[in-house]
Structure 1
Amino acid sequence: MTATPPGSTAHSWPPCPHGAKALLRDHLGRLVLVKPRYNDRRHYLVGGALEPGEDFEHALTREVWEETGLHRHPGRLLVVVQVPADEGRGKPAGLDLIFDVEPLAPGEAETIRLPPDELSDVQFIAFDDIDAWTLPPLARTIRAAHRALVQGVTALLPPYLST
């Protein structure tokens, strides 16, 4: 991991942070999005960062369990996203992998349990409505993942650069 200067409150990031995220849908085909408590931004895909020594499969399985209480394993890899560095947070560039996972069965949405200290909300969103619920970089990723799911391909996305 990258060292944090003494006395700094900055987060210590691994040299190349990776994330494993799920394109989790309900039985009606709506996307499952969660809202973190740590910021007031928009909703996100279920998933998160790999821990040291963890592979993508284990990370995704763990993150889905921690964030929803559901047991899911990664299916097909849909998107590899090159995530740009965030100089303001001292975060180096990394990769996010978006995986297909088994959709929720009817009635399973009611069993989702959010960790109260981490997430404040879960929403079931039509793919056409993602721009109203997510930030532009994630909306682009979700659209690419949905296309990859439908077309049976894997997409590689360059870093999102706002204009």
Structure 2
Amino acid sequence: MAAAVLFFDPADRILLVEPAYHKLHWEFPGGCVEANESPRGAAVREVQEELGLSVNPGRLLAIDWVPRRVGRTEGLMLVFDGGILPPEQVAAIMLAPDELRSWAWSTPHEATQRLSPLLANRAAASRQARDRGCTAYLEDGCPVG
């Protein structure tokens, strides 16, 4: 299980991070839920570790069930609403150099270019859920129901 936080700027762009390790695509801030840790707690911890920010995520935007793949078990991915990140927090971002190379605000088009297709779908569904005031249920990045 993993948890992430989707942050927005006043122009409605989302914050994406570029991993420092060998990955082809960018990601949302977040990571794996540890033993005896809640998904929301994991999201808070991961944002602190990766960006150096103390945050209080809002509501759950999306739940995505991802099937087993080669080298990975099936899992649930939860995306929380980070809201609009205030300028003072943007200025305070300090990347964990062993985890992240960079970060950037991304329009929906830029997110599609930077993210894997799975994460691009998850980002779009999370954005829609935020706009509609609901939580999206996804399976392998695709909305269900």
Please say if 1:46 is aligned against 2:29.
Answer: yes
Determine the C-alpha separation between the residues in 2 that align with 1:26 and 1:150: 14
The answer to whether the Cα contact below 8 Å between 2:118 and 2:141 also exists between their aligned partners in 1 is yes
Determine the C-alpha separation between the residues in 1 that align with 2:132 and 2:83: 17
Provide Cα deviations, 1:74-128, integer angstroms capped at 9, x if missing partner: 21111000112122x2x21010000101321124322111101111110111123
Q: TM-score under structure 2 normalisation?
A: 0.91
Please say if 1:96 is aligned against 2:77.
Answer: yes
Which of 131, 136, 140 is residue 117 of structure 2 equivalent to?
136
The code of the aligned residue for 2:112 comes to D
Larger radius of gyration: 1
Question: Structure 2: any 5+ residue segments left out of the alignment?
Answer: none
Q: Which residue of 2 aligns with 1:67?
A: 50
The answer to whether the Cα contact below 8 Å between 2:122 and 2:141 also exists between their aligned partners in 1 is no
Which structure shows the bigger proportion of residues in strand conformation? Answer: 2
Q: Which residue of 1 aligns with 2:100?
A: 119
The answer to whether the Cα contact below 8 Å between 2:66 and 2:75 also exists between their aligned partners in 1 is yes
Task: Give structure 1 regions of 4+ aligned residues with deviation exceeding 6 angstroms.
Answer: none
Question: Structure 1: any 5+ residue segments left out of the alignment?
Answer: 1-17
Aligned residues: 142
Q: TM-score under structure 1 normalisation?
A: 0.82
State the superposition RMSD in angstroms.
Answer: 1.5
